Amino acid sequence: MNICILGAGAIGGYLAAKLSLAGSDVSLIARGEQLKAIREDGLTLIENGNTNTTFPTAYSNALEAGEQDYLIITLKAHSVIEIVADINPLLSRKTHVIWCVNGLPWWYFYKCPGKFENTRINTIDPDNRQWEKITPERIIGCVVYPAVEVEAPGKIRHIEGNKFSLGELDGSKTERVTKLAKEFTNAGLRAPIRSKIRDELWVKLWGNLSFNPISALTGATLAEMCSDSDCYNLIFKMMSEAQEVGEKIGVNFPIDIKKRIEGGKSVGDHKTSMLQDLERGRRMELDALVGGIIDLAKITEVPVPNIEAVYELTKLKAKINKCY
């Protein structure tokens, strides 16, 4: 089977390197200096004290790559919206799409039991562009855990974690997700197949919707935020509001809020992705990580005053810094 990774940043580069080193038929779509470096010198992975270079095929656009069996999307949510009209050459009738994108996904309510089934979320999918162009039946959900970074063009440094939880949106264990999990496992990755991928997604969303915007506002690391009593209380309130929203749409949270905050604290003096984006003048994932949750709060009629306040303050900061 052939696999194409759309987005050659940290996670995309890490996946491409691991799969290529294991002998998978994998390519990636990149741009700029990253594309130039991979084509000329290969893709280098630094992991566990070892340095390995591999040479996956690197394309500059979807038309070059052509139709794929599996398409793994590792872009930021707003970037997918911007290029969704251009990915059609990658998609055949049988192409499966693995969604490795941070934040609340546009496909969330597809095959989601209950009264909200097939509800669309406008903040993260304006005009239903992704729903109609990618189509939700292609999607395999994925919760991404590794911490990695692009050290230089063509060079990926792995920091910690190697788990990519996978799941069909209806909870079934299909041939397509089983084959993908096997491919990931053969590459040295952990790829558990989950029957309730949305529940696991919410544990990550908890951190995204609170740690990320607060860090952007304060400049604090995870350890600093979780160690400050006032900040801890705000995080707790935001997570409590989000939990009420999640439970209204059928989510079963596998851990409690205190344990989730402790998990963030244990990461140490790590800057969140949103703070890093702010510092580097890049567009922040504010709507996917926070705005979408506010949309769900409106749909479920759950008041979320703390989430809304932090969202509006962070949005203003992002606008002032031209990161929105």
Compute the Cα dihedral for 31, 36, 37, 42 and give only its sign. positive
Residues designated catalytic = 204
- How far apart CA 25 and CA 19 sit, in angstroms, is 8
Q: Are 293 and 307 in contact (CB under 8 A)?
A: yes
Distances (CA, A) of 110 to 127, 224, 307: 16, 38, 25
Q: Are 301 and 265 in contact (CB under 8 A)?
A: no
- How far apart CA 301 and CA 115 sit, in angstroms, is 14
- How far apart CA 193 and CA 174 sit, in angstroms, is 10
Amino acid at 255: I
- How far apart CA 174 and CA 260 sit, in angstroms, is 31
- How far apart CA 245 and CA 294 sit, in angstroms, is 9
Q: Are 90 and 71 in contact (CB under 8 A)?
A: yes
